[in-house]
A = this chain, B = another copy of it.
């Protein structure tokens, strides 16, 4: 119940140990097509280039930036947390001129603040924001940010690492141009893949710019030539992770996305209610609070590291500490994917009781 990887269903775990098949095996491309259809349903998009990139969510972040941004491009990042700041950091390394629209950690950013930033200076090539900020437990509404970015002629990139599969996502409806996620949080597989999706129009335009420059491994054009016909060899894809993702997606659609989102909501609500007994309260206001990653403020007198270690050692339960400026101030408790379960919440609350009342 940390910030990810979350626990994985027995069926998904079993799929991890199927014998690997070749990267040009026709069966592999059938598997890949099924996964890609599933990811489109999860993202709610018709984007052709919707793929399980080899790597983790951070590789997805770098890939999306490298394919959209060149030396000297202006990039505006909406950030109210650790992962927003990371987008800015990675964009800078790609040579972009980066402006950050900062929000308070624990709050969402007002689209008007983005507008004000876009009204000054050169028109940006890209605006980026995090949908579900894993460091603060805050949900940022993306549609208003995307439409603001588009008004100023910029592409809009979304980090959906802690939202995809756990809360509603509607890529096409929100007019998001590029997005990445991860599989080890709400999608429900072990880490190793980064779902990525790009609109056809954006894919064409960035390829006309000859992007990405330095990054060969995450070049969408080369990858497209492997994932799609003519299936030209690019790298040896992690087929065991594909099999696991195939099962995880099938399980998600069997459950139904609406029920899946409700399950995350119910687990989070029970957790927040149960934590009140210990005077532990959420960092974020109810209307922007994520049901997937519960950032809760430590009451005074609680030894952060000791309690987390004891939870792990005595009870086999992982919860996460704060990141960046919230280190030592909050806990991050995941109710994500297969872990988003009332029984898990009860076990954690019971374990906390025994540790906090020692």
Contacts and interface: CB of A to CB of B under 8 A. Distances in A.
Interface string A1-35: 01011011000011111111111110000000000
A66 interface: yes
A16 B22 CA distance: 18
Interface string A202-224: 00000000000111110000000
Given A20-B8, A215-B214, A59 B55 contact: yes
Contact of A17 (B14, B66, B236): B14
B240 A192 contact: yes
A13 B23 contact: no
Interface residues of A, number: 54
Interface string A25-60: 100000000000000000000000000001111110
B20 A2 contact: no
A95 interface: yes
Given A192-B240, A214-B66, A20 B95 contact: no
Given A25-B318, A55-B59, A56-B54, A191 B5 contact: no
A22 B2 contact: yes
Contacts of A59: 54-55, 217, 235
B93 A239 contact: no
Q: What's the number of copies of this chain in the assembled complex?
A: 2
A217 B62 contact: yes
A66 B217 CA distance: 11
A172 interface: no
B8 A19 contact: yes
Interface in A247-286: none
A25 B312 CA distance: 9
Given A54-B56, A239-B190, A17 B25 contact: no
Contacts of A90: 216
B238 A190 contact: yes
A236 B57 contact: yes
A192 B241 contact: yes
B25 A19 contact: no
A179 B312 CA distance: 37
A352 interface: no
A89 interface: yes
Interface in A283-316: 312
A339 to B, nearest CB: 11
B21 A318 contact: yes
Contact of A23 (B5, B25, B94): B5
Contact of A182 (B184, B191, B236): B236
A96 to B, nearest CB: 10
Interface of A: 2, 4-5, 7-8, 13-25, 54-59, 62, 66, 89-90, 93-95, 182, 184, 190-192, 213-217, 233-241, 312, 318, 320, 323
The 5 A-B pairs at the shortest CB distance, nearest first, are namely: A58-B235, A192-B238, A5-B20, A13-B17, A16-B16
Given A17-B17, A54-B55, A55-B59, 12 more contacts: A5-B21, A8-B19, A16-B16, A22-B318, A24-B320, A25-B312, A54-B56, A58-B216, A58-B236, A89-B216, A191-B238, A215-B215
10 contacts: A4-B236, A5-B22, A5-B23, A55-B55, A59-B217, A93-B214, A190-B239, A191-B239, A214-B214, A214-B215
